[in-house]
Structure 1
Amino acid sequence: MSQDGAEWTATRVRTLHDDLVDLYGPVETTEAHGADPDRDPAEGVRQLLTTILSQNVADQNTARASENLFDTYADFAAIEAAEVAELAEVIRVAGLPETKATRIQRALSAIREETGGAYSLAFLDAMPTAEAKAWLTDIKGIGPKTASVVLNFHFGKPTMAVDTHVERVSKRFGLVPESASNARAHDVLDSVVPDELTYPLHVLLIEHGRTHCSARNPDCDNPVCAAYCDCEGC
């Protein structure tokens, strides 16, 4: 029996997290997640470019495009200076090659101009989360999901990256209104999910979306769906 209509508070979100942990086990925060003063400043830029490549494409194609990109060009300056058509061919496996090539070069240009010549996103670490997110999303082609991936995964900032699994499960659970846009879903989840649960809940919601709460023919025979979900399968 679901809790349809119940108000989502931080306490209830913590309960959902705990119930998902009971089903899938705890999420371990790896060394690759969160701010690290000893980390190469270029890693944040690499993550941003890789996340742009990942937009609307399978993980294996993202990995191939990313490998092609960083193997082909010596540094970020060379990527920014490349002919768009040439860059598009290098990353073609990621889909939308001309669009993504333009977005990558636009992002590198914005970073270089912000820092006075360096290709580093380290300046975002000192910004409040909302300000850092606004800086990234002001770059045309970078939406809230791409910004949230970089800010949460690289800097450990409390902002939820809402992919298709997170959005679907959140709407079925009533965490996010069914009619909400993806951008609105980011705002809603950022407002209700406790900061310390942003990353683990993101991982757990994706796991639940892949394992049980699929887009078609969901497998609702599990205690989490029984407690929170009101989809047709339940």
Structure 2
Amino acid sequence: MSTPAEWDESRVRQLHDDLTDLHEAVESTSAHGAEGDPDPGEGVRQLVTTILSQNVADENTRRASESLFERYEDFAAIEAADQDELAETIRVAGLPNQKAERIQRALAAVREETGGAYSLAFLDAMDADNAKAWLTDIKGIGPKTASVVLNFTFGKPTMAVDTHVERVSKRFGLVPESASNQRAHEILGAVVPDELTYPLHVLLIRHGRSYCSARNPDCANPVCETYCDCEGC
């Protein structure tokens, strides 16, 4: 297994290529249009959906998101909703009261910043660090949530470190085993080339789901054989 000190841009690029050979190439799904302009409401929707996804399975996130956007006609209605009613609407996502409060707090912050619009388009003009700082200043918005919004919606080089990315990165030695999630974001943000931020994020998730699972990993694959030194290898 490599140690963090041994990882440089060249080795990260090789990891990306090896993961691509195993899992196929990743195509960008940024919400930027053909001329590079983000959909004004897409960032807010991504923000709300990512809050719903905190500490819950993808299927429950999908169900909660569908329930939310079917019940309320727009973001203003979500922000103005009775919090108990909102919590009940998204209950399947877990931690309903906490997430309802976070969603309404985030929507209020966006509306106040823009003077009334529910749009995060203003983040597109900021560099990645300042945009991430603006989002994480909202209570309940951590580096993962901010990174998802900025990378997926605006194509900014922010690596979102979810449970799969963190687990695989630590097993491969990209990140020290003792590193916090915050520190993992910082380390990967520094070593991963900007243009590989999104595809490597997706590839690490694919690898974590397909092979490098938390329990009983399947290490009989060329990527694990090259980079990993977990108990299963």
> Normalised by the size of structure 1, how large is the TM-score?
0.95
Q: CA RMSD in A?
A: 1.3
Query: Unmatched 5+ residue regions in structure 2?
Result: none
1:206 maps to what in 2? 205
Moved over 4 A (4+): 2-6
Give the Cα–Cα distance (whole angstroms) in 2 for the partners of residues 221 and 41 of structure 1.
44
Q: Distance in 2 between matches of 1:210 and 1:180?
A: 21
- Are the equivalent residues in 2 in contact too, given 1:4–1:230 (CA < 8 A)? no
| Correspondence 1:49-60 to 2 at 5 A | 49-60=48-59
Residue equivalent to 2:32: 35
How far apart are the structure 1 equivalents of 2:148 and 2:78?
A: 22
Residue identity matched to 2:10: T
Distance (whole Å) between structure 2 residues aligned to residue 124 and residue 19 of structure 1: 33
Q: Post-superposition shift, 1:21?
A: 1.1
Relative to structure 2, which stretch is displaced further, 191-200 or 35-44? 35-44
Q: Partner of 1:221: helix, strand, or coil?
A: coil
Shift of 1:24: 1.3
1:40, CA displacement in angstroms?
Answer: 3.2
- 5 Å-filtered alignment, 1:7-156, equals 7-30=6-29, 33-36=30-33, 37=36, 39-156=38-155
Contact kept, 8 Å, 2:19 with 2:223, in 1: the verdict is yes
CA contact (8 A) 2:68 2:89 kept: yes
Cα distance in structure 2, aligned partners of 1:222 and 1:72: 45
Number of aligned pairs?
A: 231
- Give 1:59's aligned amino acid: D
Equivalent residue, structure 2, for 1:158: 157
Q: Distance in 2 between matches of 1:195 and 1:15?
A: 15
Q: Tell me, which stretches of 5 or more residues in structure 1 are unaligned?
A: none
The normalised TM-score by structure 2 is 0.95
Partners of 1:39 and 1:146 lie apart in 2 by: 18
Percent identical pairs in the alignment equals 77
Per-residue Cα deviation, 1:39-82 (whole angstroms, up to 9, x for no partner): 53111111100110111111111111111111111211111111
Mapped contact 2:38–2:153 kept (Cα < 8 A): no
Say whether the 8 Å CA contact 1:152–1:158 is kept in structure 2: yes
